[in-house]
Amino acid sequence: MRDIGHFIGGKNVAGTSGRSADVLMPMDGTVQGKVALASKEEMRAAVENAKAAQPGWAATNPQRRARVLMKFLDLVQQEYDSLAELLAKEHGKTVPDAKGDIQRGLEVVEFCIGAPHLLKGEFTDGAGPGIDVYSMRQPLGVVAGITPFNFPAMIPLWKIAPAISAGNAFILKPSERDPGVPMRIAELFIEAGLPEGILNVVNGDKEAVDAILDDPDIKAVGFVGSTPIAEYIYSRGCAAGKRVQCFGGAKNHMIIMPDADMDQTVDALIGAGYGSAGERCMAVSVAVPVGQQTADRLVEALIPRVESLKVGPSTDPSADFGPLVTQQALDRVKSYVDLGVEEGAKLVVDGRGFKMQGYENGYYMGGCLFDHVTPDMRIYKEEIFGPVLSVVRAETYEDALKLPNEHEYGNGVAIFTRDGDAARDFAARVQVGMVGVNVPIPVPIAYYTFGGWKGSSFGDLNQHGPDAFRFYTKTKTITSRWPSGVKDGAEFVIPTMN
């Protein structure tokens, strides 16, 4: 059994709080390790370490900082398979899915190698008589990230890479459910040449989160998780004077127009709705066919596909998806299916009774499919975060568009159609942050920004892309005039460019 502590000052250190949590293996329900839960004192030790190391790192030129990221990419490639296997065993997703988790994180690291360009300021020569004006981007200092269980490689890398390439020191508080990969990421960064103290990983629960939010030396906090926690972190962090970005829950719709390619649509829904057991903030959980004929065709095609989904252990390369992350997560998803039946939705595929032979204690559930779900039902309003797809029938395109526009979440949405005019109108009018046109999971590539609207996002700036560098830096503007251009005598009016 593994004992996982913290990574502080470039070293693995044991926890000293006396508190710990089990690290489970979702595919069989066994305990594979213990992870320390940090006290406020342990978090403070990490912050002091980061604070001492950060000025030297900030003084390192951006090109040399970028070389550390380049070396890190090489090291990860050498351990790609072992990292994916570790991730799968702690999270429950299949190994191929775990590799995708890692890869999407590495793509942001690749983008951040361009930090020397992304950190450039502006310059105006001769803005006034003998006056030059220029700006520069400077790091904030010590910053922190609080990341979720469902992407234990991708989301930490989305936050670490831009923060450290911009010259900050970073404190990562990953999910205590699957801490193994974040800890290994920190070790690999040190091997790549990152100075000790620039990246610290402190494992913990709410006590560690509150310590981050209350620490005066932490200047910015990024979070990904549920909307209630996002609201809590955003309000408490902002009250403490920090820069905060928080990404919360989602209820992602896919609009299916009558002219859509039904085979393509069904393939997209199966992958986007049931991949990773639905434990994705970008999972499609609501299918909205337009017109009764479209709806009937869609449900008829979906039923056998959902029934034939292969659920298996994380190590089974042929499995479509694996177990959920914990027994509590499994119980929660099943309770939503129970609720949907009580609310009057038609459960056309029921995966609640699925058992995995030889893995009876794992947290498995088969795919579930609801038809005739209505917008007043809780299974439509709330995020289920499991392998459950709801079909909400819409009579017209306008009825379909109204659903994502009026939902409290606005993370991702998609439309499937062959009509360019309908797609263009939808992209312009839908009130959601990320839109796919015949793309079921519209996660932007690394050099665009990722972020939802409404109850899915709190803060002014998004993740990765140029917004990440704006979030992790502050702009300083200098107005300069040298003695040869200075007039004699005092001036008592505000300077102008006249």
pLDDT in tens, 11-41: 999 999 999 999 999 999 999 999 999 999 9
CATH code assigned at 96: 3.40.605.10
Q: Pairing mode, if any, of strands 284-289 and 30-36?
A: unpaired
- 135-184 per-position pLDDT tens digit: 999 999 999 999 999 999 999 999 999 999 999 999 999 999 999 999 99
**Sign of dihedral through CA atoms 425, 254, 272, 456?**
positive
Residues 239 and 157 in one domain: yes
**CA-to-CA distance for 165 and 70, rounded, in angstroms?**
11
Range of the domain at 162: 2-248+456-478
The residue to which tokens 């999972």 are assigned = 283
State yes or no: pLDDT of 497 exceeds 90. Answer: no
Residues 7 and 147 in one domain: yes
Residues 382 and 307 in one domain: yes
Residues 244 and 308 in one domain: no
User: Does residue 351 sit within a domain?
Assistant: yes
**CA-to-CA distance for 356 and 116, rounded, in angstroms?**
51
User: Does residue 496 sit within a domain?
Assistant: no
Tell me, yes or no, if 281 is annotated catalytic.
yes
Residues 344 and 222 in one domain: no
Amino acid identity at 177: R
Residues 418 and 367 in one domain: yes
Residue % of the chain over a pLDDT of 90: 96
- 401-427 per-position pLDDT tens digit: 999 999 999 999 999 999 999 999 999
Residues 306 and 208 in one domain: no
Kindly name the residue from 112, 246, 281, 368 that is annotated as catalytic.
281
Residues 202 and 284 in one domain: no
